[in-house]
A and B are shown apart, each in its own frame.
Chain A
Amino acid sequence: MTTVESYAKVTHLETPRGLIGGAPIAHDAAEAERKYRREPGFPVPLLIAPATLWLVIFLFLPLISIFVFSFWKSTGHGMTPAFTLEHYQAFFASEGFFDPSKPDFLTPSVFIRTLWSTFRFTITVMAICLALAYPLAYFLSMQVENFKWQLTLFLLAMVPFWTSYLIRAVAWLPMLGRHGLINEFLVSFGIVEEPVSFFLYSEFSYTMALVQLYVVLAVGPIFFSLAKIDRTLLEAARDMGATPFQIFREIIAPLSLPGVAIGMIFIFVMVMGEFATAVVVYGGKSSTTGTVILNYYAIANYPFAAVNAFMLMVAMMIGVVIILRLVDIRKEL
């Protein structure tokens, strides 16, 4: 109990009483209570106002704009206020969707297929990131006992997060090309006879680069949730004869799930919205929904860019809700 709280309690006991009976004068009692209960520190509205205003202007307004503009009419070089669903129809249905005589009858449009492939691809990247990050976080939190070493090794693994991700994507070029390091290595060890060309500008290079760019985002949260596990639990389980595998399955894995979920949400939203890496290591050969959005912005079809963006947002929300349904992360926050 804080000093102020105990003070308020004392005054509450000695609330002024009515002239005749012993009933407290409710109005005054409440007044006194409020007066003394005024919490110390700066007033909350003052503290939250600037950040709230900032978020309204630079986060909520842009997102609402996307939704609103997705119904506007495109004029070729701009847009005018309207309510049309034509962009949504173009997003979902290909041109001959409603015409049985066309070959693309009832086939979904290229845009929804792009969103679907972006989604599928994101799941792949998430799975690889999890497989790489979990053992690393486990090693750092469970195997390294000295705190200083733990912190140093953790920071060393996390530092790339604070460096330019464009440049880290660029750095893959000398590794993956036809004369890249990986090919040189494979040829000189006789694993392949000719340099392999599928390393660069392929799904392979794109996956590699994205995993390397985003894997640290999973290491952090998993590490923190593992480090929080009460070590006496593990000891107790060991004393009762649990095998290391049992300890992992029964204690460590369930307790680290919230960290896994947070890491996976991070990677999910980042890779879903990805567009720059695709150009660098994929040579723009294939597109993600992110590149589609920017392409339509570039040709000034803002409503259609907005539709793609809105559908991306919907897909992301569905994904995040699924992850949150599977794992309760509230304990972690």
Chain B
Amino acid sequence: MARWTPERRRKARVKAGFSVYYAVFLLFVYGPMFAMFTLSFQGPRGGVSFPMRGLSFYWWEKLTGPSAVGDLKSSLVRSLILAIIVMVITALFSTMLAMAYRKRFRGSGFLFYAVMAGLMVPGVLLSLGLASLLRVLGIPPAWWYSGLGVHVVWTLPFGFLVMMAVFNRFDARLEEAARDMGADEWTVFREVTLPLITPGIVAAGLFGFTLSYDEFARTTLLAGAQNTLPLDINASLTQRVQPTLFALGTASTLFSLLMIGLFIVIYTILYRRSR
């Protein structure tokens, strides 16, 4: 047992203070979500704030029932399809870009800032710019191309940074060994590079999927006639807020958490295997 010198005691006190702060921070970040979660089980006569008037699944049933807020089921399906396409494109593009950045090439600095700009330009600007442009061109926007376009602009920098980090720690000698033994570029990529970077690709895909699934600002003016889920949620906000909205929010949050957990599990498995 180490003795409790004044120095050690002071350190422990500091650490305890910070731990309490961490807990308070989590309460701040998660607290409102728990309140929403609890209130989604509000009794039929209860309202959108405490106290609870009984416990029930009334609002959850209303959510899944036929007269739900808008046409939730099809907007959910659209959001999922969009998120999956964005995930695939993000993973593909960020891998390709990061592979290009292993070499020096002209305009690399400019392209880097161009990719990063996707992170910096607010959604409302992209929405407005593309929507007015499409209006002038006479092409109606739709979630599956104009929505998809701006979503990828937003998710690409995240995937790109992940893949850059992956290739930073990559041992290029493995590829050279394969090349020296006569493998062509495709074989080198398939047999050596790809298995080693798969965990990174999964992480890039996580950003693509979750950020697209929840994206609202960029789709505001670009989804066209059919809404994605966040747009439907926003539309229901303009009506009288009911606990149905809390049930919807809880369901959506749980789904997001489930996806994150799934990605982390896949990542861990692949990461262990690639060692």
- New A-B contacts (6) at CB < 8 Å, excluding given A44-B103, A164-B249: A4-B176, A47-B97, A54-B149, A164-B253, A166-B234, A167-B36
Q: Give complex CA distance A57, B129 in Å.
A: 11
Q: Give complex CA distance A51, B96 in Å.
A: 9
Q: How far is the CB of B247 from chain A (nearest CB, A)?
A: 11
Mask, A26-48, CB within 8 Å of B = 1, is: 00000000000001111010011
Query: Is B257 positioned at the interface, with any CB of A under 8 Å from its CB?
Result: yes
List residues of chain B with CB within 8 A of the CB of A166.
214, 216, 230, 233-234, 237
Contact A51 B156 (CB under 8 A): yes
B148 nearest CB neighbor, chain A only = A58
Contact B214 A276 (CB under 8 A): no
In the complex, the number of residue pairs spanning A and B with C-beta atoms less than 8 Å apart equals: 261
Query: Is A251 positioned at the interface, with any CB of B under 8 Å from its CB?
Result: no
Query: Is B4 positioned at the interface, with any CB of A under 8 Å from its CB?
Result: no
Q: Which A259-283 residues have a C-beta within 8 angstroms of B?
A: 265-266, 269-270, 272-276, 279-280
Stretch with Cβ within 8 A of B (4 or more), from A8-16, A90-98, A101-109, A151-159: A151-159
Q: Which A132-176 residues have a C-beta within 8 angstroms of B?
A: 132, 135-136, 138-140, 143, 153, 155-157, 159-160, 162-168, 170-175
Interface centre among B96, B112, B118, B124 (most CB of A within 10 A): B124
List residues of chain A with CB within 8 A of the CB of B14.
143
Q: Which B96-154 residues have a C-beta within 8 angstroms of A?
A: 96-97, 99-100, 102-103, 105, 111-112, 114-115, 117-126, 128-133, 135-136, 146, 149-150, 152-153
Choose among B50, B149, B217 the residue that contacts A180 (Cβ–Cβ < 8 A): B50
Q: Give complex CA distance A248, B162 in Å.
A: 29
- Count of chain B residues near A, Cβ 8 A: 90
Query: Is A66 positioned at the interface, with any CB of B under 8 Å from its CB?
Result: yes
B10 nearest CB neighbor, chain A only = A244
Q: Give complex CA distance A47, B249 in Å.
A: 40
Q: Give complex CA distance A159, B26 in Å.
A: 11
Given A2-B172, A47-B96, A302-B132, the answer on whether A313 and B260 have CB atoms closer than 8 Å is no
Task: Give the A-binding residues of B (Cβ under 8 A).
Answer: 14-15, 18-19, 21-22, 25-26, 28-33, 35-36, 39, 48-50, 93, 96-97, 99-100, 102-103, 105, 111-112, 114-115, 117-126, 128-133, 135-136, 146, 149-150, 152-153, 156, 172, 175-176, 179-180, 185, 188-189, 206, 210-211, 213-214, 216-217, 220-221, 230, 233-234, 237-238, 241, 245-246, 248-249, 252-253, 256-257, 259-260, 264
Given A174-B48, A175-B31, A309-B129, the answer on whether A55 and B115 have CB atoms closer than 8 Å is yes
Contact B50 A170 (CB under 8 A): no
List residues of chain A with CB within 8 A of the CB of B252.
163-164, 167
A54 nearest CB neighbor, chain B only = B152
Stretch with Cβ within 8 A of B (4 or more), from A17-25, A225-233, A290-298: A290-298
Interface centre among A2, A173, A274, A297 (most CB of B within 10 A): A173
Report 6 cross-chain contacts, Cβ distance below 8 Å, ordered by A residue. Answer: A54-B93, A139-B21, A166-B237, A168-B33, A177-B49, A275-B124
Q: How far is the CB of B7 from chain A (nearest CB, A)?
A: 11
List residues of chain A with CB within 8 A of the CB of B150.
58, 62
Contact A156 B99 (CB under 8 A): no
B15 nearest CB neighbor, chain A only = A143
Choose among B102, B114, B217, B241 the residue that contacts A173 (Cβ–Cβ < 8 A): B241
Q: Give complex CA distance A57, B50 in Å.
A: 48
Choose among B29, B93, B249 the residue that contacts A157 (Cβ–Cβ < 8 A): B29
Q: Give complex CA distance A2, B179 in Å.
A: 12
List residues of chain A with CB within 8 A of the CB of B130.
58, 61-62, 65
